[in-house]
Structure 1
Amino acid sequence: MVTGDRVQLRAIEPSDAETLWRWHSDPEVMRWMDAPYPPSLALTRKRLEERGPDSYGNLNLMIETLDGRTIGIVALREAEPEIGDAKLDIYLGEKDTWGQGYATDAMRTICRYGFGKMRLHRISLTAVAENEAARRVYEKVGFVEEGRMREAFRRDGKWHDKVIMGLLEDELR
């Protein structure tokens, strides 16, 4: 378990299937995510039961409050030790925790882990340009906009730009 100031990050368990399925079935939670269709509960259970162990290249962790309430998920994926780079994904599935500082602490915690334990030099992510709440969190942690993919995301019949953001190990705040 990896602990921050407000959250702890732990391995994903098969028992998390119903929670993940509930989040993935909520249109508000999935608003800016690249997930076109919600999976069935049976498929979610099967994926969790059959998933392999986390590795350097693909680390997926549940976000919990310090009192043990599961509220989201964070991942470092496509990590490459030869170049010290990884991509980050995060979301909070429990809407009552939005705007409470949990995402910011989870970002700082996973980035500290990535830079310290995994010896990464750079972490990047993409965000839909209109997802201002997420972008504010990323900027608080130190991520900067590095580029833009024009009309790379479609939602509700409209195309949206995606921004590419990056963080170097000495920029973490």
Structure 2
Amino acid sequence: MVDHARRATRPGFLDKPTLRGERVLLRPVTVDDVPALLPMFRDAEASRLTGSHGDGEPDEARIRTWYETRGAQDDRLDLAVVELTTGNVVGEAVLNAWDPGNESCGFRICLVPGTYGHGLGTEATRLIVGHGFEQLGLHRVSLEVYAFNPRARRVYEKAGFVAEGVLRDALLWEGERVDAVVMSILAPEWFRHRGRPEAADHGPA
């Protein structure tokens, strides 16, 4: 049975929170963040790992228009990832494709080149996914990761995402067809380990 009163009191996707961790802070992304985020759009490796087809220099005017409108979206949450030690915007974390009838949504994260491998993505993932379950009342958060991006898959696994299946030949990249792995995390799993499944699995018997 759905608790309609409880659902009505929850913040919605139009509410744009600020979430603070030990290494990163997530806050609403704005058009002023575009200069810091542009390296994501210009980096060939980032385009490959995210399967972003495009020709030439990214359209900065179009990108600015996109980020100008993020604060008004009531069906997705776009947050800038800020590194606390430097104050620099180092990427974005997004809950999107909201399906209110099934209490689910998608997730994606992208960091600017040169910021990988320091735990920033893992913490940002835990912060925004935790917000989705604990504040937005989601039941399922899902994503797709390409087979040639094992580093990203490991980040998602560390935050509690579980592989569900494979979309065969989902991406055609420079003549190569690449599988995509579908992953998800469910609310009962999140509330069991809070985004740290390895610690939960190795806890007291």
Indicate whether the TM-score tops 0.5. Answer: yes
- Between the aligned residues of both structures, percent identity stands at 36
CA RMSD, 1 decimal: 1.6
Cα contact 1:24–1:30 (8 A) shared by 2: yes
Flag structure 1 segments of 5+ consecutive residues without an equivalent.
none
Correspondence for 1:111: 129
CA change 1:82–1:50 in 2 (3 A) is: closer
CA change 1:135–1:50 in 2 (3 A) is: closer
How far the C-alpha of 1:29 sits from its partner, in A, is 2.0
Which residue type is aligned with residue 83 of structure 1? N
| Bigger fraction of residues in strand | 1
In the alignment of these two chains, the number of paired residues is 171
Cα contact 1:21–1:40 (8 A) shared by 2: no
Correspondence for 1:163: 181
Match of 2:27 among 10, 13, 23: 10
Distance 2:30 2:71 in 1: 11
Correspondence for 2:99: 80
TM-score of the superposed pair, with normalisation by structure 2: 0.78
How far the C-alpha of 1:156 sits from its partner, in A, is 2.2
The CA deviation string for residues 46-99 of structure 1, in whole angstroms up to 9 with x for no partner, is 3323555132x2111111112421111111012223321110011111x32211
Distance 2:45 2:115 in 1: 13
Correspondence for 1:49: 68
Task: Give matches, 1:1-173, under 5 Å.
Answer: 1-37=18-54, 39-51=58-70, 53-55=72-74, 57-67=75-85, 68-93=87-112, 95-172=113-190, 173=196
| Bigger fraction of residues in helix | 2
TM-score of the superposed pair, with normalisation by structure 1: 0.91
Of residues 122-131 and 26-35 in structure 1, the stretch that sits farther from structure 2 once superposed is 26-35
Distance 1:109 1:170 in 2: 17
Cα contact 2:36–2:90 (8 A) shared by 1: no
Which structure is larger by alpha-carbon Rg, 1 or 2? 2
The CA deviation string for residues 115-172 of structure 1, in whole angstroms up to 9 with x for no partner, is 0110101100000012100000111111111011000012222010001001012323
Flag structure 2 segments of 5+ consecutive residues without an equivalent.
1-17, 191-195, 197-205
